[in-house]
Amino acid sequence: MKQPNFPSIARQNGVSLIEALVAVLVTALGILGILGMQMRTMNNTQAAVRQAQAIRLVENLSERLRMNPNSFSSGTASKYLVGWGDNGTQVNCTNGCDSATLAQWDIEQWKKNVREILPLADANVFFVNDESGTSAGNNRQLGVMISWRENESAGVSEETNFNKYFRLSSRNASGAVVACPAGRTCYLQFIQLAARCTANSNSGVARPYCADGSVKQINNS
C-alpha cells in the first residue's frame, strides 16, 4: 500500500523554525540595544558627577582664599599660582604660619585633593588676562582650570567628539594661553581673591579700612 505524502506539513515546520530563529535574533538585538543605552546613561551620569566634583573643588579653593586674611597681597596671591604638573611646595603649618606660607600650604593640599578625587586629574591656577596691566598686589581674580581623564570605553573618535564640548581655554596675566590638555575633560571657573578690609578712597588713594581699626594702603591699579 502506498504511503501518503505530506509536503505541506514539512514546509510548515521549516517556516516555523525560521520564524523562531528570527524572533530570537530580534530579541537579542533588542537586549543589546537596551544594554548599550544603559551603558551610555551610566557614562553620562559619571561625567555629570565629575563635573559636580570639579565645581566643589573650586569652591573649596575659594573658601581657602577667604580664610586667608591677606590673600590679595602681592606676596600671598602669587603663592596660589600653580601650573599643570606642579604639585605645589610642601610646607608645615601645624603650629601656624603667615599668609604667604598658608597660601603655599593651601595650594599644595588642594592639588592633592584634586588628584585624589578625580581620575588622572591636574589643575592650573592663574591670574586672569583682564588684569594684565594691574600692578603687583592689586590682582583680584584667579582663573582655575581642572582637567581629568574620562574613562570612556568607546573609541578615540567618539571620546574626542565627547570631550570637544569641554575644550576650554583662557589666557593668564602674561597673555599665554591656558588650554585644556589633549584627551582631557576640563572645568574652568573664575574666583575672587579675598579681602577682609572694605575698600575706600581718601584723597585719591585707595585704602582698605579694616575691622580692627588699622589702615593699610595699597597701590593704585
- What is the pLDDT at residue 210? 52
- What is the pLDDT at residue 128? 86
**Which set of grid coordinates corresponds to residue 119?**
581620575
**Domain range enclosing 201:** 56-209
**Paired residues of 190 in beta bridges:** 143
Q: What is the full per-residue pLDDT of the chain (221 aa) written as tens digits?
A: 555 555 555 556 666 778 778 888 888 888 877 777 766 666 667 778 888 999 999 999 999 988 887 777 767 888 899 999 988 888 888 787 888 888 899 999 999 999 999 999 999 999 888 765 665 556 778 899 999 987 654 444 445 555 555 567 788 877 888 899 888 889 999 988 766 655 555 555 555 545 444 444 444 44
> Does residue 193 belong to any structural domain of this protein?
yes
Q: How far apart are CA 56 and CA 49, in angstroms?
A: 11
- What is the pLDDT at residue 194? 66
> Does residue 124 belong to any structural domain of this protein?
yes
- What is the pLDDT at residue 59? 94
Q: How far apart are CA 197 and CA 194, in angstroms?
A: 9
Give the DSSP H or E segment for 41: helix 7-67
> Does residue 80 belong to any structural domain of this protein?
yes
> Does residue 17 belong to any structural domain of this protein?
no
The number of domains in the chain is 1
> Does residue 148 belong to any structural domain of this protein?
yes
> Does residue 20 belong to any structural domain of this protein?
no
- What is the pLDDT at residue 129? 80
Distance of CA 60 to the CA centre of its chain: 13
- What is the pLDDT at residue 212? 43
